[in-house]
Structure 1
Amino acid sequence: MVLALSPGFVGVVGGGLAAIVLYALLGLVMMILGFYAIDLTTPGKLNQLVREGRPNAVVATGAGMISMAFIVVVAIYGASGRLADGLLATLVYGLVGIVVQAVAVRILEWVTGIDMTVLMESRELRPESRVVCAAHLALGLVVAVAIL
């Protein structure tokens, strides 16, 4: 019995592997930019607050990262297998999503009257962090679905 690969198999697998690597790198860049957008719009130095284990900063950061992942995943899905289109769409939608989410979450925090300085610096998990988390996740889903 001889095992033979169909013609074009190596090209298809190679293209798929390239897409995985490129999307992963772009997703990582979007996540880093999203982190810095959250950091810029949140009182205190977010990476320091997270390293110190401030639970509300950790929750807000985690929710922000998950919501950015929603946007990246839907942009990739919407590209329908066209790598160049998908990478460009992910970049554009990701950047717009970062800006929209950072502004919208801050507006929701203002509307709810959450004191972000007190919240981020607290050493105890506060109920308000659930509102911030929900705002990040909800807005990430809204932006993600808007891409479709």
Structure 2
Amino acid sequence: MSDIVNGLGRAGTYGVLGVILLILGIGLVDLLTPGKLGKQIWEERNRNAAVLLSSALLGIGGIVFTSIWTTYDDFGKGLASTAAFGVLGLVMMGLAFLVLDLVTPGKLGATLVDTEPHPAVWITASCNIAVAAIVSASIA
């Protein structure tokens, strides 16, 4: 029974850390794009903004999953690893966004939250997933 209680405690702690990293991801996307992201997605039903945010959340989730999966035997190391690699993933996604913004015409953030569907959102979303995969691979 103590194994179950211990596992629940660890899962809860990892869960809280994962949610914090996801919230930071939402904040990052909101920072990099004009306007209020929540309003654009939930009130204006902006699909571009939703795809962009979804890719960032999936990427961070993948990094958190990989970090927990590879260090579960050592709880302290797992928490530190999850926090460090999660933040690294956010930084790298932000950097990749800025590089894409430099090499594309116009302001990428404004393009990605335009109400008209735009193919640039798929490129940026793919970049988020790719960056997360690279960070995840470096964990193991």
TM-score (norm 1): 0.85
Among candidates 122, 128, 132, match of residue 130 of structure 1 = 122
Could you say if the C-alpha distance between residues 55 and 89 of structure 1 is closer, same or farther in structure 2, counting changes exceeding 3 Å? same
Among candidates 78, 90, 93, match of residue 86 of structure 1 = 78
Deviation beyond 4 Å, 4+ runs, structure 1: none
- Whether the 8 Å contact between 2:59 and 2:129 is mirrored in structure 1 is yes
Aligned CA RMSD, in angstroms, stands at: 1.6
Aligned length: 139
Q: Secondary structure at the match of 2:116?
A: coil
| Matched AA of 1:116 | L
| Matched AA of 1:101 | M
Among candidates 4, 25, 34, match of residue 25 of structure 2 = 34
User: 1:119 Cα shift?
Assistant: 2.1
Among candidates 37, 47, 52, match of residue 55 of structure 1 = 47
User: 1:40 Cα shift?
Assistant: 1.2
Instruction: Determine the C-alpha separation between the residues in 2 that align with 1:121 and 1:12.
Output: 47
Q: Which 5+ residue runs of structure 2 have no aligned equivalent?
A: none
Q: Secondary structure at the match of 2:134?
A: helix
Q: Which 5+ residue runs of structure 1 have no aligned equivalent?
A: 1-9
Percent identity (aligned): 27
| Matched AA of 1:21 | G
Instruction: Determine the C-alpha separation between the residues in 2 that align with 1:106 and 1:68.
Output: 18
Match status 1:15 vs 2:6: yes
| Matched AA of 2:52 | A
